[in-house]
Structure 1
Amino acid sequence: MALANLLLALACTVSSAIAFSGDMTYYDPEGAPGACGGRHLGSDKVVSVPFSHYGNCPNPNNCPSCGKTMRIHCNGKTTTAKVVDNCEVCAGDIDFTKAVFSNLADLDFGRVQVTWEWA
């Protein structure tokens, strides 16, 4: 399993001219309100980003990241997700719903390196 994780991590970081890289994890928002407003489920293609990408936006109507779409690349696959929340513990990583994560990697991995850019 360790070798499989390493190979997947290496495959997921190979991409061209990408602005950001880090680990992706997943969560289930369970209909709770996000920092951008609105409620989402694990079946929605949404993302919670670290403050370094979200910014200091106490009012979601003034936050430029809210509603933005990002393209995520891993293992030769690409998908998109819409920013709906900030992630206080993510540092440079991004936290997706299971719907997004499973488009790129098996949920059993739990944490995978990816690259992404704003769409």
Structure 2
Amino acid sequence: MSTGSLAGRIKPAIRYRGVATAYEAGDGNGACLYGPSGDLMIAAMNHTDYESAKACGAYVLVRAANGASITVRIVNECPLPCAPGQLDLSQQAFSRLANLSVGRIPITWTLVSPAASGTLSIRYKTGSSQYWCGIQVIGHRNPVAVLEVRTAKGWRKLHRTDYNYFLATDGDGCGRAIRVTDIYGERLTIDGIALKPDVAQPTRVQFARH
């Protein structure tokens, strides 16, 4: 798979049209629950295209009518009445495209797979144990489509919540090997992640650039 066949509403090589607005991003945390970040080139995706957290972590190239452009990472959700195609940019990102006083500008945007990216990390949610766990992928180059855990019966696909954790509500597979698949179909198998809540544990792997 190389065409993003596992993608949801946001697909590679498609130019989306909408408007950009701006919000006070604070410490950079948002609905995707990645936590605070020093990089505020970020955005909130409209509710429709957020698609129950499928947009979390996606990088999008935003272009304004004046020719200015910027790449931002999706870390938040812009609730209704944010319309399909709309991006609510951090004030820092919006100011790269237009003066903040403008408030609202027409844009186009496309999904991108950035050149510079470190390895991804895995984090277990607060309260995770051998009886229940939530698993989050952090720092992925391409949007995550599927997360599975290894069980005695084989690989088990976990449900993704709108707050960007994949849940094993009965604990089966918690603390065992994890397999993550991006929208292009690339699978990364990760071993050695301890069941430690609230700790971002680095790996040695990253999705390929497209």
**What is the TM-score of this pair, normalised by structure 2?**
0.42
Q: Secondary structure at the match of 2:75?
A: strand
Equivalent positions of 1:3-42 (< 5 A) are 19-31=15-27, 33-40=29-36
Q: Distance in 2 between matches of 1:103 and 1:42?
A: 17
Deviations 1:18-65 (A, max 9, x none): 621111000012237411113457970001001221102xxxxxx431
Q: Distance in 2 between matches of 1:78 and 1:100?
A: 10
Q: Which runs of 5+ in 1 are unaligned?
A: 1-16, 57-62
Post-superposition offset of 1:109: 0.3
Root-mean-square deviation (CA, aligned residues, Å) is 2.2
Aligned pair partner of 2:96 in 82, 99, 103: 103
Q: Distance in 2 between matches of 1:30 and 1:70?
A: 20
- Partner of 1:67 in structure 2? 57
Q: Percent identity?
A: 30
When the two structures are aligned, how many residues end up with a matched partner?
97
Contact 1:49 1:94 in 2 (8 A): yes
Aligned pair partner of 2:108 in 107, 110, 115: 115
Q: Distance in 2 between matches of 1:116 and 1:40?
A: 25
- Partner of 1:84 in structure 2? 75
**What is the TM-score of this pair, normalised by structure 1?**
0.71
Structure number, greater radius of gyration: 2
Runs of 4+ in 1 over 4 A off after TM superposition: 40-43
